[in-house]
Chains A and B, each alone.
Chain A
């Protein structure tokens, strides 16, 4: 992989160049919460505080709320007006490898399972510039999901902190193309490459929280019907939406219309399987008991998603652990699965 490098103090210049071509998003707390927000043209203080955002970068492609269309009713019927397509391409600067992988996982739903007309245009025009972790949280467990906190996959360009500089790897053709049009970058030496390699290894070893994913789908299947276990681990859950809404791979959404006189708007917004009213509108929520909802969250990520897409829908970003009001910890739930005696097949009536 070819690479370039840049002085840390020149990052503002780099983002400035890219701002002419893209809507540059970078880590920011300006709104009151850490998220990827439109870069203000000067601020690079995030290089000091940024470990990861609270709002996952999926929000730039699949926002908490968006207008699907507007409609108007008159004597002739309904008239539909689609929202204007945003021509401005997004460049996300500083995305972490866990969150970049999460977007690749979301693509499987929004691109392979069906083509989502709201997600895909934003996603396919975007450039992802990754930034390797140097200081993972104690709640991070990405290495157990086959991700290394400074790895260069699922992004177009990858930055690695080598001290006073960042090494920039050109990961995709899109990334290469962007670098070709970027000025002010320096050539790398073998020494730089060695430093970057060492930095990657160091950060990898800083992730100490581990789970055993070997045969996890089968283990969950074996205890799918173990109501006692799920009731026990679900007892302290308060059925809020933090762990799911802020999960970088959760993609459930709700659709709501607002009709004021004859003018209407259809919105879609994040939804969560943790909510008792989930899917209440089209039918009923088949998971009335809390333990069924908690089981769904765990099994969807570690059992059902792998059945469909052959990948675990968890990247070990740790947000669900850090942000949980009651310190419900998915790594404990997975670690404490009862010891397997014999595989019990879930009854069809109980599959929900």
Chain B
């Protein structure tokens, strides 16, 4: 798969079919990758596909000018389609190099499984439905579902639905729906007061680094409401109440655009379980509007149109 990607990327650049390639290359720390954004065909040899390609590269599509060849997992391809729906990206300008994705390894989960930090591990290997962790010369085997990101366990479409070149065989999805919603179900079991206290505690840690927003392809506003000063919807001060408003409004803004790629939660430096909000919204959108984000590039974006049958009286 990786070899095919290198060849395809190189020939796309050589033949002038794209100006840019956006993919992954090895990161500077163990078990990491890092986005590679390049115009140079010689860089194609650095491209990798492995269980650590965490980033949703669709985020960079709106940053480069010209035609782009982009590596996309299932969730990323849906983010690209969603951007096409919103007229942020022109389909003809993108060559999607689709990666059928078996799920991405959550290093946080791996660390908790073996009680060691990532840089103390010798190796992490994905083998079918197992993940093998080598530490201090010892081999430990776990079911893959225990080491993958929660959103990967829920992923219904691990194989890109929209692509130009598919780099491998389609992969099965929805590996463990119940486990993927574990944290959400726990929250749903609480009383509203307990949930309020939960989010108050979690959001008290927010430092307003805005990584959750900036890493999100669906967050493409030129100026985020939370930084508006006239009117000032929320203070740009990391007070939990203002943090709560930021997250609630961000969630509503990405409803129908969020593909549950899980990046917001992964990048949060203070471990706020943001996916418990975004996935809940994803499921509500599906339940109420029978809409899954980024499935059909010709569909109208959910939140920018309405149907005659809309339930709300004031919409008619």
Contact = CB atoms under 8 A, between A and B. Distances in A.
Interface of A: 31-33, 51, 54-55, 64-65, 135, 137-139, 235-236, 238-242, 245-246, 254, 256, 258, 267, 269-270, 272, 275, 277, 281, 321-323, 325-329, 331-332
Contact of B270 (A33, A51, A240, A267): A33
B142 interface: no
Given A65-B239, A240-B210, A269-B237, 14 more contacts: A33-B269, A33-B271, A65-B238, A236-B34, A241-B207, A246-B207, A254-B236, A267-B239, A277-B223, A325-B211, A325-B266, A326-B35, A327-B28, A329-B28
A325 B263 CA distance: 9
Closest 3 CB pairs of A and B: A240-B211, A325-B267, A241-B209
B37 interface: yes
Interface in B12-68: 27-30, 32-37, 55, 59-60, 63
Contacts of B267: 240, 242, 325
B29 A321 contact: yes
Contacts of B272: 32
B238 A242 contact: no
Given A246-B207, A270-B207, A240 B30 contact: no
B183 to A, nearest CB: 13
Interface SS of chain A? loop
B41 to A, nearest CB: 15
Nearest to A271: B236
B215 A240 contact: yes
B202 A326 contact: no
Nearest to B32: A327
B273 to A, nearest CB: 9
Contacts of B59: 238
Give the most central of A135, A238, A269: most B CB within 10 Å: A238
Contact of B119 (A65, A139, A240, A258): A139
Interface SS of chain B? loop
Contacts of A267: 235, 237, 239
Nearest to B264: A325
Contacts of A137: 117, 119
A256 B236 contact: yes
Given A65-B238, A258-B235, A31 B204 contact: yes
Contacts of A322: 29
Interface string B64-98: 00000000000000000000000000000000000
Contact of A139 (B29, B205, B266): B29
A277 B213 CA distance: 14
B136 interface: no
Interface of B: 27-30, 32-37, 55, 59-60, 63, 117, 119-120, 201-202, 204-205, 207-211, 213-215, 223, 227, 229, 235-239, 263, 266-267, 269-272
B28 A332 contact: yes
B215 A325 contact: yes
A32 B108 CA distance: 13
Nearest to B120: A135
Given A137-B117, A238-B215, A275-B210, A33 B237 contact: no
A272 B238 CA distance: 13
26 contacts: A32-B272, A33-B271, A54-B269, A54-B270, A139-B29, A235-B35, A235-B37, A238-B215, A241-B207, A241-B210, A242-B267, A242-B269, A245-B208, A246-B209, A254-B236, A256-B235, A256-B237, A258-B237, A269-B208, A269-B238, A270-B208, A277-B223, A281-B229, A322-B29, A325-B263, A331-B28
B238 A241 contact: no
Contacts of B223: 277
A321 B214 contact: no
Contact of A65 (B27, B201, B237): B237
Contacts of A32: 201-202, 205, 270-272
A245 to B, nearest CB: 5
Nearest to A135: B120
Nearest to B209: A241
B55 A326 contact: yes
B209 to A, nearest CB: 4
A328 B35 CA distance: 9
Contacts of B210: 240-241, 275
Nearest to A290: B63
B275 to A, nearest CB: 15
A235 B214 CA distance: 14
B287 to A, nearest CB: 30
Give the most central of B120, B227, B237, B239: most A CB within 10 Å: B237
A64 B223 CA distance: 23
Contacts of B120: 135
Contact of B28 (A242, A246, A321, A323): A321
Given A269-B238, A281-B229, A236 B60 contact: yes
Contacts of A326: 34-35, 55
Contacts of B35: 235-236, 326
A267 B238 CA distance: 10
Contacts of A239: 214
Contacts of B237: 65, 254, 256, 258, 267, 269
Contacts of A238: 59, 211, 214-215
B152 to A, nearest CB: 17
Nearest to A331: B28
A298 to B, nearest CB: 15
